[in-house]
Amino acid sequence: MKSLVIGCLVLSLFVLTCNLPPDCAKFRNGNFTVLGNKRISEIERNGDQQLEWDNGPKKWTEPDTFKVKWLNDHSYMLLPNSSYLKKYHIDKTDAAITVDILQTSVSSCTIRISTNLGSKTAEAEMFRSN
């Protein structure tokens, strides 16, 4: 009987820790490296502003600039500025990128990225740089 009670307690603790929501607060501000589908991006996010540099095959020297709008504790939207829209030949002025934080660890998180410009989504790993 005693081992059954201990087993139930251990199982309960395991279930509780598996169902904990991701700790997204530590990914609101700071410097991050995103590893996606053959792309590496460096991000600097502070408040409602995000600067993003691509370190992939076509390395950017000037960052793309986004306004950050948090939708809830685990999701945010990136709203590109007009130079981004012009750079990528996007004529939709309400273009937006949605980022959902799926899970977190001590220094990284898994994110899902989608946009209102199409139906494709992508997942990537985002690591704290500081």
Strand partners, 54: 41
With respect to residue 94, please indicate whether it lies within any of the assigned structural domains: yes
Q: Is 10 helix (H, G, I), strand (E, B) or coil?
A: helix
The answer as to whether 27 is a domain residue is yes
Each residue's pLDDT expressed in tens, for the chain with a length of 130 residues? 555 445 444 444 444 445 455 789 999 999 999 998 777 899 999 999 999 998 866 666 789 999 999 999 999 999 999 999 998 899 998 999 999 999 999 999 999 999 999 999 999 999 998 6
Instruction: Please give the residue range of the domain that contains residue 107.
Output: 22-128
Residue 6, domain member (yes or no): no
Q: What's the CATH code of the domain at 31?
A: 2.40.128.20
Q: How far is CA 104 from the centre of its chain?
A: 10
User: What six digits make up the tokens of 66?
Assistant: 């986004």
Please report, in angstroms and rounded to a whole number, the separation of the first and last CA atoms in the chain: 49
Is 7 inside a domain boundary? no
Count the helix, strand and coil residues of the chain and give each as a percent rounded to the nearest 5: 20, 45, 35
Structural domain total, the chain = 1
Alpha-carbon radius of gyration of the chain:
19
Residue type, 102: L
**Is 120 a domain residue?**
yes
What pTM was computed for the model? 0.79
Q: What is the pLDDT of residue 3?
A: 54
Q: For residues 14 and 39, give the distance between their C-alpha atoms in angstroms, rounded to a whole number.
A: 35
Do 66 and 80 touch, CB atoms closer than 8 A? yes
